[in-house]
Amino acid sequence: MSHSNSEAGTPTAVKYEIRPAEESDWPGIWAVLEPVIRAGETFTWDRDTTEETARGKWFKEAPGLTFVAVRDGEVLGTGELHANQGGGGSHVANAGYMVHADHGGQGIARALCAYSLVAARDSGFKAMQFNAVVESNVRAVGLWQSMGFRIMATIPEAFQHPTLGYVGLHVMYQEL
């Protein structure tokens, strides 16, 4: 599955393709992941996660999926999709997305999420759940809500933000 996107309504349309990731995309994916991980503001990963560990966590094998938003060979953002749980919970998908700081505000996160929702439906998932959306990440919370996700619960002080201290984590959910 591949998806081309052109954000209309901007002086210069931003065009990129979203497609399954290839092994050769890893350096570009790592260039997106590493600053987000090191900042420690939006993902629950250890800030000192190594490249090898990140690759093992991010690159999903079937039935999971890792995908990228690319333009002219440059990885602008990336996402991953997998079953949220095993066994009796395997019909609910989970996904994560990261966009390179230089390309924020261009609709890439929205497009990555939309891509994953289609992929999840096509894979037979019945719903998608985000387990840990940092409540202080208001842009992401608002974006996911605009795409049909609901906040099902907020776990108070479940995330230690590097500058804000303890903040809540939202569990967000959408039926497919």
Residue pLDDT tens, the chain, 176 long: 555 554 444 444 568 999 999 999 999 999 999 999 999 999 999 999 999 999 988 987 766 899 999 999 999 999 999 999 999 999 999 999 999 989 988 899 999 999 999 999 999 999 999 999 999 999 999 999 999 999 999 999 999 999 999 999 999 999 99
Task: Let me know: does 17 contact 74? Beta carbons within 8 Å.
Answer: no
Q: Topology of domain 3-125, per CATH?
A: Aminopeptidase (3.40.630)
How many angstroms separate the CA atoms of 171 and 176, rounded?
16
Helix/strand/coil for 158: strand
With contact defined as beta carbons under 8 Å apart, do 166 and 157 qualify? yes
- Give the bridge partners for 165, in sequence order: 161
Q: Which residues make Cβ contacts (< 8 Å) with residue 114, sequence separation at least 6?
A: 3, 147
Beta partners for residue 161, in sequence order: 165
| Sequence-separated (6 or more) residues with CB below 8 Å from residue 52 | none
CA 100 from chain centre, in angstroms, equals 12
- Helix, strand, or coil here: 58? helix
69 and 98 Cβ atoms separated by less than 8 Å: no
pTM over 0.75: yes
